[in-house]
Structure 1
Amino acid sequence: MTAVVTTGLAAPAAVGALAATEVWATRSLGGSQALAASCLAVVALTVCRRWPWAALITTLPAASLGYVWLAPMVALYQVALRTGPVSTVIGASATAFVYFVPWPHLGPADWAPSSVALTVMFSGLISGTPVILARLVASRRELRARMAELALFRTREHTLETQQTMLRERARLSRDIHDTVAHHLSLIALQASALEVSVPPERRPSVALVRKSSQAALTDLRRLVTMLRTPAESTAGVPSPGLADLPALVVTAGSHVSAELGHLDGLECPSAVQEAVFRIVQESLTNARKHSPGAPVSVVAGQIGTNLLIEVRNEAGGSGPWIPGSGKGIQGMTERAAALGGSLLAQPAPDGGFVVQALLPLSTAAARL
């Protein structure tokens, strides 16, 4: 910005300096009145950008001297650059006329054909050059503006094309998820429901847990499919899990999971933070079930100042088959916390277990990130 302002001020100052130099160099060619007219023409250049016609008219007496060229040409240039075609033609004609007329103070007129031809050529050069330069500058500015509009249009077109590609990809992903994962989860839920009534009573809680887990997974999957198929602004009505769903999540995880969630009652928390809390606890319980199956797990959540602290800790050991993981769970939890302006720490505990601690801000501004 400073460079633009400096350039905008330097050009008029340089032109004014050249015009003043011309007046100084020709000061001895006329009397005091001619010098006054020349000086007045230089002063007129200070307002030629704002009032180009007034500046041009003020420089014409100096133009009639025959040896002051720069100030009238600059004023005519501004007229051609800042006014319409009619004003430009009138200004150029007036300037050419002043330079062509053999004014009495210039001495005897020479009407020889060669002298008249040279005068016509000189008048045309003095009046035509500023107009041509002004038209070139105006054309360049217009071309630059058109190129900027074209670049903006191309950017918008590229953005729209990218959005359309993303929507098509989201639709494809939603179809693939629905046709594969949802199908298998539905079969698991149906088979668990049928198996629940045929197994011995002591095995029914485990089968019921499988049924409830598969049904909950189907619910989450349908929500994700809806969000993939529907633009973001249309998913406001799609329910998302929050703090109120944590007790059910803990119960579903099994009897070896304990929780202290009483401090969350009545806590005002943005929906984005609530969903992040639910997903972090859910992923932490899943990891504990994979890597330390059956080991005691504790879930603690509470408010600390303007932040919400979540801790999921599992002890070492456990009994049951070990299930390998993809290694993406902790990364996903960390990204969720970071997206809301929070932080997450996942590391082995001193007793051989594992602990996940997340600190999320409760501010509404963070929820909009």
Structure 2
Amino acid sequence: MGGDGYTARLAPRWRRLLVAGSVVVSAPLFVLEPALLGVAGARIVAVLLLAVQAAALWSLDVRPRAATAVVLLVSAGFQVLFPAFGPGVAFVVLCTYAWLRPAGEALPVLGLAVAAVCGPALGQQRWLAAGLWLGACLLAWSWGAQARARGARLVAQRRQAALEERARIARELHDVLSHTVSVMVVQAAAADDVFDINPAKAREALRRTEEAGRQALAELRWFLRTVREDGDGDGDGGPQPMLADLERLGQSVSAAGLPVDLVREGDGDVPSAVQLGVYRIVQEALTNALRHAPGSRASVLVRVGGGTVLVRVRDFGGVGPSPGKGGGQGLVGMRERAALLGGTLAAGPHPDGGFQVEAAIPVGGRV
């Protein structure tokens, strides 16, 4: 992998085409320079140069720098011995090398190519040919570098898309399980506290724990269906939670030991994606309150109007999650979810005590 994060590979069939092409392109030597080839040893030199060039091209993918240098030197040798022979193969190899390797590594090879291709023409005082070869070198290198840049850009886009998808899955998984697991922990702790002195209350807490566990399993099944590649789920995992489910959420948190006052104001058509986002934000905020403000109470305000859904969740005794101690992932997820919907979210201690989360999400946002 190069410094730009992109790895280019030359397929075996393209190597075979390069080798065969170099032989075909070099074959006119035996027609263009019949007199010189009649000189003793000239034919042997030509055959040897062709063989060396073919071998270098075959190893171009394994040793690109050495193979490119050998091909360029062979091209220079051909031009010295056979002035009528042009450096066509050299341009192809230079373009290929600029595609295989990052620009920082390809630039020195460009200098070698200019020297190897233009040098013999300059020595033979063929000024026009030297100028043409120089332009061809620059063009070949540019084509290869542009092809590599396009490939690197596509790889970066795919990598970014994969990271965003991983973040989305992590956020959804956190939202799906965090609340119900937190309720299970609280209820299990409550059952343990009263197990000896009030078995009936302990059993009630254990039943709530069982219900929360079943809910967690159902939500996890639904979540796994949403991320399956084949998307052929049977659809029995239940619909995604909406604003109408906030009352049930408040009751669940209240039963776990954090009384919740839910107020909904306004009315209007709210897209399902915004409703789901609002539900998840309220769910996560109440889950944090359940963890960090046990024995306190919480208030939830959801106001629809003016093209915006305002969400305000406050507890009256908590200090909020502590990012420095491994917490705060819920806050990150809430901010990301609000941003994806085109909204904003602020969270922090309330001036009158407790912790507050407030989000404003446009009804016509990015849904």
User: Which one scores higher on RCO, CA 8 angstroms, separation ≥ 6?
Assistant: 2
TM-score normalised per structure 2 = 0.45
TM-score normalised per structure 1 = 0.45
Larger Rg: 1
